[in-house]
Amino acid sequence: MSRFLARASATMLAGLLTVAAGAAQADTTLTYQGASGEFTVDMKPGAVRIDDATRQWQLYEADDEAIFSVNPVDRSYTRLDRNTASAIRERVDNLRAQIESRVQQLPKGQQATARAAMLQSVPGLDTSAQKVGLDRTGRQDSVAGVSCEVVQVVRDGKPAETLCVASPKDLGISGKTFASVESMFSLMQTLLAGTGFETAGLPYLSLSGMPVRFTDTNSGERRQLVKVGHDSLAKKRFTIPDGYIETSITPPGS
């Protein structure tokens, strides 16, 4: 579970550091470069596909209200939808209850330290979720010729990632396509609520557009656009190939 969410979050984070210019187009392919390699994002109304530097890719389909993680190596995929998310939340709640039961058996003076250590040992269990916000710096910049606003992500009051965010109009992405990107992140936020992974990624729904540059304040890692295209995208590009087997998402603590 944690590996899937980490990959999905990291891939989407990297994949949405994008830019386009000119007239808005329904289909958009965005290519950008990061320290770990090249990433591509294919978008069209109702669907988004994100390929990272590995062979695995993520797929969002609005009609299914699901996010898929596809692994061509073993011809398999996992599905994150409302039912899957509900099962994850139940598993997380049960694990938290088990930990609290064990903590209560310890002397009072040891409980706080033991509780924190146990919760942090399993991703998603720590109930002291980070507070994630945005600091609008008021500074403007340009990435690949597109104007963008510099914003600072703040986690627990400390500077974290720095983004340069461009408006959908400046990105040249159609309203329907951008609406699909927004609905994907809205669904992800809904599905992850209560799982402990709510703050794992960036606060995309609080942004006025899409990041065209990302810089990690701690590591210095940077990702940004290198190419954009608007060729028509075939339906099969957004379809899981025949013969692929659905596998279950590994829940936290397994």
* Summary mean pLDDT of the chain: 80
Q: Which pLDDT value is given to residue 180? A: 92
Q: Which pLDDT value is given to residue 8? A: 53
Q: Which pLDDT value is given to residue 58? A: 95
**Three-class DSSP labels, the chain:** CHHHHHHHHHHHHHHCCCCCCCCCECCEEEEEEECCEEEEEEEECCEEEEECCCCCEEEEECCCCEEEEEECCCCEEEEECHHHHHHHHHHHHHHHHHHHHHHCCCCHHHHHHHHHHHHHCCCCCCCCCCCEEEEEEEEEEEECCEEEEEEEEEECCEEEEEEEEECHHHHCECHHHHHHHHHHHHHHHHHHCCCCCCCCCCCHHHCCCEEEEEEECCCCCEEEEEEEECCCCCHHHHCCCCCCEECCCCCCCC
pTM of the model: 0.73
End-to-end, the C-alpha distance of the chain in Å comes to 8
pLDDT tens digit sequence for 120-173 = 666 555 555 567 888 889 999 998 888 999 999 988 788 888 999 988 888 888
61 forms beta bridges with 47, 66
Average pLDDT over residues 40-55: 91
Q: Which pLDDT value is given to residue 17? A: 46
Task: Calculate what percentage of the chain has a pLDDT beyond 70.
Answer: 80
Q: Which pLDDT value is given to residue 115? A: 72
In this prediction, residue 1 has a pLDDT band, given cuts at 50, 70 and 90, of very low
In this prediction, residue 34 has a pLDDT band, given cuts at 50, 70 and 90, of confident
In this prediction, residue 113 has a pLDDT band, given cuts at 50, 70 and 90, of confident
pLDDT tens digit sequence for 50-86 = 998 888 999 999 998 899 999 999 999 999 888 877 7
48 forms beta bridges with 43, 60
More confident residue, 230 or 1: 230
Q: Which pLDDT value is given to residue 70? A: 96
Mean pLDDT lowest among 5-19, 203-217, 219-233: 5-19
pLDDT tens digit sequence for 187-204 = 887 777 766 555 556 777
Has residue 186 got a pLDDT over 50? yes
Has residue 3 got a pLDDT over 70? no
Q: Which pLDDT value is given to residue 22? A: 45
Average pLDDT over residues 89-99: 73
More confident residue, 149 or 95: 149
